[in-house]
Structure 1
Amino acid sequence: MPVTSVESDAEALTMTLVADFPVGAERLWTVFTDPRQLERFWGPPGWPATFASFAFEVGGRARYSMTSASGEIARGSWEFLGIDAPRGFEVVDSFVDEDGEAIPGMPAMRMTFAFDETEGGSRLTNVTYFDSLEGLETVLAMGAVEGSTLAINQLDAVLQGLREFAQGKGTQLEILDDQHVRITRLIDGPRELVWRAHVDPELMRQWMLGPDGWRMTHREVDRREGGAYRIGWEPEPGTEGEPFGFDGEILLLDEPRRMVQTEHMTGTDYPSTINDLSLYEEDGATLVTLLIEYPDAETRDAVLATGMVEGMEQSFRRMERVVLG
């Protein structure tokens, strides 16, 4: 993982993040100063960022928002204080409302971003300065250390490009913490078609089947925020297994980029998960990312032990062969 340390200093009123990357400092500068690349990692998993404006000049401002799986929105604003291309820049980062006005009682923080060459590539040093110990403690209590670590650790895929980062690696699983896993798969095809494959019942029946020998028996969905869905499978003749299915509710829908839904195994008292699906296209390939939130580590491990990831890989191969081929 790129992040090597995140340390807070109550006396100096600072939080310092250090991360190392196998690319030159100029490449690192580019991803932090291009809003389309920046928004791919600035929000931590489950809180992707969108930069609505980005006036990259001294005195200019950038406005961004981060949206949770439940639709909660956190908004921020950068005021650019200094720019020293390509070595770094300095901003005031503020919590703002939907009109871009600072939220009373929330701290405004001065942040510096420094990009330095190293023997193996480059280093990011991000220092956040607070006006008071209360401001530092407020941000730490909001999960700043964990959130910034998870966010910056997403930079590898952005720096390398999707094909270099993921092509040929199949379905990849990352355990982020006790409750969250991230599953990624690169599909060699356009986002619009990959999205359709995930929401069109006729296309889903062709590929979303897991191991060979299963068929989808029903797929009912009210495709809107707040809408319910139900999906089920059964074994083909000669295949062992019992019919099963999932049901849930769509919490957030941003077509064709993101869909968040609850998932519950139909007919059981098993706890639900929150599944956050996002698609990103680059150079004709689409990165499918599924962030799953479990109620606890025990449930997480029980689900992963079913061979879920292997079944997803077989389904994705079928998608490439049947839907995209």
Structure 2
Amino acid sequence: MNQITLTDSDRQFFYDNGYLVVSCAPLIQDQFLINQLKSQFEKCFRGQFSTGIYPDEWHWRAGISNPGVVREICNAWKSDNVIRSVVLSPEIGSLGGQLYPHWTRVRVAQDDVIWKVPQSTVKGHIGYHVDSAYISRQFEAPETELKTKAIKELSERYNGHDFSTGSDSITVWIALDDADEENGVLEYVERSHLLFGMRNTTKSFGVLSESDEFAEAHKKIKDMLNFHTDAENPDEEKERFVAALNEVINKNKNSLSMDSLMSIVKPQVPAGFCLIHHQNMLHGSGANISMDRHRRALAVHLIDGDVKFVGAPTYIYGRYKLQGSVELRDEFFPVTWTRKE
């Protein structure tokens, strides 16, 4: 694993646009490790778990499921030792600490093993969604003097962004195969994190989000969100989605002070390199239409290591909440990085 050092320019781009293509160096440089991960992916989907522990979610099983659909396993780190070595690595955890100086520790909330086989044109899409809907809303960060000070300093340094909300988690997406539009790379609606929860004091997103007109448009957009999309034509659905977003921007230009409309970004990511995105970033991916190229990726969802459970988390996370306690246990949400004093 490579230790990636993010620059001020990297951080500024992430805060402004909601994502970052880490192109300075691969996160996983060792080709042998990349090949190991691919091999373990195959074993996991056959139900061969090296730790003997089943993952939290297991979508697609060899000999049973449609060969062309997206294959997904959640929290494979519990089930496979090779995947565990990557997911729980401090090199990944440090990325959260570098982006958010108010994080004193970093935990893993969840991993995602994603595999799209060639010519997976039927049910091979991943619908647009925001990770906060599944992850961040299960937790809340306690307010401390140290965090408040760090957030204020961060806001003053980076264009007046308000980091008091929407900065509890990030996602690190690692390509195990060269990924591009043809084989279904992760794609983003640029700057959409600004409309889905990350306020900006300079541009008054907080005020806008309280207006009736915005609330109606926001609901229309949210109703279209679905990781496991059932759309007959997902590409047309995406076009409608972006059109709905831009309708909000056009109707609220003065409040938003946005100088351009939103568009879809489909980066090219070589094997071993990674993307990082904001918890409220709209993202999804198209089908793998290539003839012979697989698209395997490992996503790691990181959270502020000091967060607590909300009162009633959903069942996936709620199963790890102990009665009478809001604390996260290290066995289920491992701490992978701690800030040095």
> Which has more helix, going by share of residues?
2
The answer to whether the superposition gives a TM-score over 0.5 is no
> Which has more strand, going by share of residues?
1
TM-score, normalised to structure 2, is 0.24
Which has the higher relative contact order, 1 or 2, with Cα contacts under 8 A spaced 6 or more apart? Answer: 2
